[in-house]
């Protein structure tokens, strides 16, 4: 049985664990620094197994990384979440320190794993994990676009009164205010969304997608976690089962899109090798400009981190 470890058994980590357990593809280890929390959540989850019909194990560990040994995928969600009014970038330095220490512990136990990052600011923390781990870039990937595209898809489905299952959206760029929803590659059962909704409505949905995280923080005082957890589970399954799924995710660019030495959201092929391919797709003028703006912002932030 494959093994997926999740560092940070908080809201996102635990949601990812539950969605992944229900996919029944890998044993799951939850790790946190809080006494009892990962073991308690793990026990609660396996007690759902007879009801939800899954057979994988879920176990918890506090501070001890030895159960992480041999993991195929390690998901890092540990960090401080955003508070109302706080941008993801405010979290930069604190979470960079947490990601550094966690990555070092993970690498010591699972030197061959694929690192799947979630801690915000996502694109910067993914870069940080790549640097600290010393892994080749294909083995370090960030979850961003799956969630952002899911939000975009949902809002399109809602506007059209159709099933969200029929909407495929594309959101590129950084996982923050500069993200780039790409209507050009958003379709409803193959029909371009641009043929189904007027530009003003698409613009409104794009903006709501950019503000999607903040909208939830403002409603309930903490970041959302179900959709992020589901997105992590989808990506972990793609790796463990070598599904070679094409999805937007944060990957290291080495010249693609004219950009170099930064992690940012682009379409990738995700399989057992991690980021197996980065697709350099044609973008219209507006999306291209937005992607460049997003990249410039993250380049600046990387300097703040000392890179």
72 HSE (CA, 13 A, CB side): 20
- Residue 175 designated active-site: yes
178 HSE (CA, 13 A, CB side): 22
Both tokens assigned to 239: 């790796």
- Asked if 126 interacts with ligand APR (CB under 6 A), we say no
Of the candidates 3, 41, 151, 175, the residue annotated as catalytic is 175
Three-state SS at 276: strand
- Asked if 176 interacts with ligand APR (CB under 6 A), we say no
Phi, psi of 26 (to 5 degrees): -155, 145
Residue nearest to ligand APR (CB): 10
Lay out the site mask for ligand APR across 222-251 (x = CB under 6 A, - = otherwise). xx-x--------------------------
Contact of 287 with 182, CB cutoff 8 Å:
yes
Residue 177 neighbours by CB under 8 Å, 6+ apart:
87, 210
- Asked if 147 interacts with ligand APR (CB under 6 A), we say no
- Asked if 45 interacts with ligand APR (CB under 6 A), we say no
CA 66 to chain centre: 25
Q: Exactly one of 20, 118, 233, 268 binds ligand APR (CB under 6 A); which one?
A: 118
Q: Exactly one of 60, 67, 79, 174 binds ligand APR (CB under 6 A); which one?
A: 79
Supply the minimum distance, in Å, between the C-beta of residue 284 and ligand APR: 30
Supply the minimum distance, in Å, between the C-beta of residue 74 and ligand APR: 12
Residue 42 neighbours by CB under 8 Å, 6+ apart:
9, 17, 28, 30, 58, 59, 60
The residues in 14-43 that bind ligand APR, with binding defined as CB under 6 A, are: 32-34
**Residue 35, number of CB atoms within 10 A of its CB:** 10
Quick one: which segment of 108-116, 180-188, 204-212, 218-226 binds ligand APR (CB under 6 A)?
218-226
User: Which residue number, 14 or 167, has a Cβ lying nearer to ligand APR?
Assistant: 14
User: Which residue number, 80 or 281, has a Cβ lying nearer to ligand APR?
Assistant: 80
Look at residues 185, 196, 190, 215 and name the one whose alpha carbon lies nearest to residue 156.
Answer: 196
Contact of 38 with 32, CB cutoff 8 Å:
yes
Catalytic residue numbers? 175
Contact residues toward ligand APR (CB under 6 A) are 7-13, 32-34, 77-82, 91, 95, 98, 101-102, 118-120, 222-223, 225
């Amino acid at each position: 049985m494959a093994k997926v470890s999740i560092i940070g058994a908080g809201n996102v980590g635990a949601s990812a664990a539950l969605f992944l357990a229900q996919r029944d593809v890998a044993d799951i280890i939850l790790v946190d620094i809080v006494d009892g929390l990962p073991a308690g959540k793990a026990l609660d989850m396996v007690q759902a197994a007879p009801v939800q019909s899954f057979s994988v194990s879920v176990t918890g560990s506090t501070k001890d990384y030895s159960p992480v040994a041999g993991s195929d995928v390690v998901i890092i969600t540990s960090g401080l979440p955003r508070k109302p009014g706080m941008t993801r970038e405010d979290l930069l330095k604190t979470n960079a320190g947490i990601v550094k220490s966690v990555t070092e512990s993970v690498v010591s136990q699972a030197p061959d794993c694929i690192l799947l990052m979630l801690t915000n600011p996502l694109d910067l923390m993914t870069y940080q994990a790549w640097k600290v781990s010393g892994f080749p870039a294909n083995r370090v990937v960030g979850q961003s676009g799956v969630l952002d595209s899911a939000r975009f898809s949902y809002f399109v489905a809602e506007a059209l009164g159709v099933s969200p299952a029929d909407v495929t959206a594309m959101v590129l760029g950084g996982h923050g205010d500069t993200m780039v929803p790409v209507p050009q590659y958003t379709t409803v059962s193959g029909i371009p969304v641009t043929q189904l909704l007027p530009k003003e409505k698409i613009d409104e949905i794009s903006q709501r997608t950019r503000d999607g995280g903040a909208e939830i923080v403002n409603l309930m005082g903490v970041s959302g976690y179900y959709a992020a957890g589901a997105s992590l589970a989808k990506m972990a399954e793609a790796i463990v089962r070598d599904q070679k799924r094409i999805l937007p995710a944060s990957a290291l660019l080495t010249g693609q899109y004219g950009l170099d030495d930064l992690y940012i959201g682009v379409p990738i092929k995700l399989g057992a090798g991690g980021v197996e391919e980065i697709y350099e797709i044609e973008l219209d003028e507006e999306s291209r400009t937005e992607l460049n703006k997003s990249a410039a912002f993250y380049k600046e932030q990387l300097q703040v981190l000392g890179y």
